[in-house]
Amino acid sequence: MKNLPKVNENFEELYRMLIGQIKSKLLLTGIELKVFNQLSEAKSAEAVAEAIGSHPENTRLFLDGLAASDLITKKNGLYRNSPTVQEFLVEGSPTYLGQMFTLQSQMWCAALNDLPGLVKEGPPPPSPEADMGSEEMWTQFATFMVNYERAGAAQQAVELVSELPEFSSFGKMLDLGGGPGLVGIAIVAAHPTMKGVVFDRPAIVKIAESSIKEYGLEGRTEVLGGDYLQDPIGEGYDLIWTSNTLNFARGDLDSLMKKIYDALNPGGVFISFCEGLTHERTKTDFIVLSMMSIALMGQDMCFDQGEIADSMLRVGFKSVRSRTLDAPWGAADLDIGRKAGKF
DSSP 31-73: HHTT-GGG-SS-EEHHHHHHHHT--HHHHHHHHHHHHHTTSEE
The count of other CB atoms within 10 Å of the CB of residue 252 is: 9
pLDDT of residue 129: 47
Give, as one character, the DSSP assignment of residue 251.
Answer: G
Dist CA 11 CA 124 (whole Å)? 35
pLDDT of residue 209: 95
Q: Which residues contact 100 (CB under 8 A, 6 or more apart)?
A: 141, 144, 145, 147, 148
- Note the CATH number of domain 137-338: 3.40.50.150
Please, what CATH class does the domain formed by 12-89 belong to? mainly alpha
For the chain, where do the domains classified as CATH 3.40.50.150 start and end? 137-338
Residue-level pLDDT, tens digit, the chain, 343 residues:
888 988 888 889 998 999 999 999 999 999 999 999 999 999 999 999 999 999 999 999 999 999 999 999 999 999 999 999 999 999 999 999 999 999 889 888 877 888 999 999 999 887 654 444 566 777 787 888 899 999 999 999 999 999 999 999 999 999 999 999 999 999 999 999 999 999 999 989 999 999 999 999 999 999 999 999 999 999 999 999 999 999 999 999 999 999 999 999 999 999 999 999 999 999 999 999 999 998 998 889 999 999 999 999 999 999 999 999 988 777 899 999 999 987 5
For the chain, where do the domains classified as CATH 1.10.10.10 start and end? 12-89
3-state secondary structure of 11: coil
3-state secondary structure of 78: strand
pLDDT of residue 223: 97
What are the CA-CA distances from residue 327 to residues 123, 154, 275, 306 (Å)? 30, 11, 10, 17
